[in-house]
Amino acid sequence: MRWRSAITRGATVDRDYLAVVARNFLIAALLTGVGLAGVSVDLIFDTLGVPALGYLVFVGAVLCPVAWLLGQTVPILTNLFAHQRAGAASGNALAGSTLGSFLGSLLLSLVIMQWLGVSAAVACCGLLLLAGYLITAGRNWRAGSVAALGSVLTLGTNLWLRPVVDTAYASYAVVPVELAGSINPRAFKNNNSVASLVDESEPPHHARYVDHIRAILLDGLGYRGREILVLGAGGFTLSQREPANRYTYVDIDPAIRQIAEQRFLREPAQGEFIADDARRFVRRSERNFDAVVVDVFSSHTAIPAHLATREFWQDARRVLRADGVLIANLILDPQLATPYARNMLATIESVCGRCAVEVLQRQQALSNVVVSCRNASPPQPASVYTDERNATDFDLARSR
């Protein structure tokens, strides 16, 4: 009964309609402008530590109250259309609300987020709600002072407190880190997850998995003058100070190269850059490469779901030359025992056949796992050796 009264709260208001709407706009503005700001979201998740608990608190304390408060607006304002029938009043209010939602979603996603970033979009929503508060509360010094204070809080938390660069696709930050044996190391963070490492040594030190992949390409395969495709730009460290091969980076964010060059590498990134979705690029590209390096992540531990399927790996293999190699950097448990680890490796090997799987940090809860697969014929079904039917010697002979 209480839950139902919360949903129908707007319909039960019988007086002071504008005052109630003004109060709702003000609370929603503060929850949106401050609660949705990156610094607030980071604080919630960093303080709680457990992602599931962080999502629960974020949804319950920020998103749900905003939706509950703004959901009351249409039924409350319907009472102001006293000269109209109830149906006509509701229709007019709903039409205005729908039009506002439509225009707002288009402007936010296609204009503000594309050109100014996520933080600017959050600040814009907060400021618009404060404008709604001013309109409904009346033009007086008290309402003006409250709106001014709310504007300062909104702009401060979104534009000044968080040392990041926002784009329509991600938030980027460069922060100092502790790294043994390195000189002034720094991390390039993508959506609050470390994407790349570099320092001021000569030559620069990079993340362990980057050095490992470079060793595979340069030392293990002896690649020189080859074409290497890198899906997921990160900090462009795979090609840094590496003149032996030609690198092509594909990343969905058009702004990432300039951000990485100016704030992270502090020098021009080496290689060609193409702003595109990785799956769309390998599906449509007519080019062929000697190596494809898959280093794409939607968070610190997971690659985007549409880049985890067999169809994606088939497309990635399609752009390989006949003797090429596909290399993937994954974040998995060191034992490779979780369903995610088992199924991810099985998906890749269903397309590429048996691959080399190297766990780089065996004593950590999660590790970089580098998977390297040669472009070979489709995998054949395997058989298990038993005492009853032991074909070990026969298989060994025909394998040489």
Q: Quick: pLDDT tens for 199-213.
A: 999 889 999 999 999
337 in the same domain as 238 = yes
The answer to whether position 38 is within a domain reads yes
206 in the same domain as 101 = no
Residue by residue, DSSP assigns 318-334 as: HTEEEEEEEEEEEEE-T
Which residue did the predictor score with more confidence, 297 or 322? Answer: 322
- What pLDDT is recorded for position 178? 87
303 in the same domain as 207 = yes
Q: Are residues 349 and 355 in contact, defined by beta-carbon separation less than 8 angstroms?
A: yes
- What pLDDT is recorded for position 123? 86
Strands 186-190 and 356-359, bridge-based pairing: unpaired
357 in the same domain as 315 = yes
The answer to whether position 384 is within a domain reads no
The answer to whether position 386 is within a domain reads no
286 in the same domain as 155 = no
CA distance 156 to 123: 9
Mean pLDDT, residues 342-348: 95
- What pLDDT is recorded for position 81? 59
280 pLDDT more than 80:
yes
The answer to whether position 30 is within a domain reads yes
220 in the same domain as 137 = no
Which residue did the predictor score with more confidence, 90 or 171? Answer: 171
Q: In which band, very low, low, confident or very high, does the pLDDT at 79 lie, cut at 50, 70 and 90?
A: low
> What is the token pair recorded at 88?
């006509």
DSSP letter at 261 equals I
Q: In which band, very low, low, confident or very high, does the pLDDT at 6 lie, cut at 50, 70 and 90?
A: very low
Query: Which amino acid, residue 370?
Result: V
87 pLDDT more than 60:
no
203 in the same domain as 137 = no
CA distance 400 to 398: 6
94 pLDDT more than 70:
no
Q: In which band, very low, low, confident or very high, does the pLDDT at 1 lie, cut at 50, 70 and 90?
A: very low
Residue by residue, DSSP assigns 273-285 as: EEES-HHHHHHH-
189 in the same domain as 99 = no
Provide the mean pLDDT of the chain.
Answer: 84
Q: In which band, very low, low, confident or very high, does the pLDDT at 76 lie, cut at 50, 70 and 90?
A: confident
- What pLDDT is recorded for position 41? 82
Question: What CATH number should be reported for the domain holding residue 358?
Answer: 3.40.50.150
**Which residues, including other chains, have CB under 8 Å from residue 62's CB and lie 6 or more apart?**
31, 35, 36, 40
Domain boundary among 162, 192, 210: 162
- What pLDDT is recorded for position 346? 94
128 in the same domain as 76 = yes
For residue 232, report the phi and psi dihedrals to the nearest 5 degrees: 100, 105
7 in the same domain as 76 = yes
The answer to whether position 167 is within a domain reads no
Q: In which band, very low, low, confident or very high, does the pLDDT at 185 lie, cut at 50, 70 and 90?
A: very high
The answer to whether position 207 is within a domain reads yes
Partners of residue 188 on adjacent β-strands: 174, 196
Please give the C-alpha separations between residue 130 and each of 40, 61, 67, 76, 98, in angstroms, as whole numbers.
19, 20, 16, 18, 20
Domain count, the chain: 2
Q: Which residues of 7-27 are buried (b: 16+ CB within 10 A; e: fewer)?
A: eebbeeeeeebeebbbebbbb
- What pLDDT is recorded for position 290? 97
pTM equals 0.70
Q: In which band, very low, low, confident or very high, does the pLDDT at 4 lie, cut at 50, 70 and 90?
A: very low
77 pLDDT more than 60:
yes
195 in the same domain as 91 = no
Q: In which band, very low, low, confident or very high, does the pLDDT at 186 lie, cut at 50, 70 and 90?
A: very high
- Range of 39's domain? 2-162
225 in the same domain as 250 = yes
The answer to whether position 383 is within a domain reads no
CA distance 334 to 373: 19
| Residue 53: Cβ within 10 Å count | 13
The answer to whether position 284 is within a domain reads yes
Q: Which of 29-33, 56-60, 160-164, 255-259 has the lowest mean pLDDT?
A: 160-164
Q: In which band, very low, low, confident or very high, does the pLDDT at 242 lie, cut at 50, 70 and 90?
A: very high
Query: Which amino acid, residue 146?
Result: V
Q: Are residues 351 and 315 in contact, defined by beta-carbon separation less than 8 angstroms?
A: no
Q: Which of 25-29, 66-70, 185-189, 355-359 has the lowest mean pLDDT?
A: 66-70
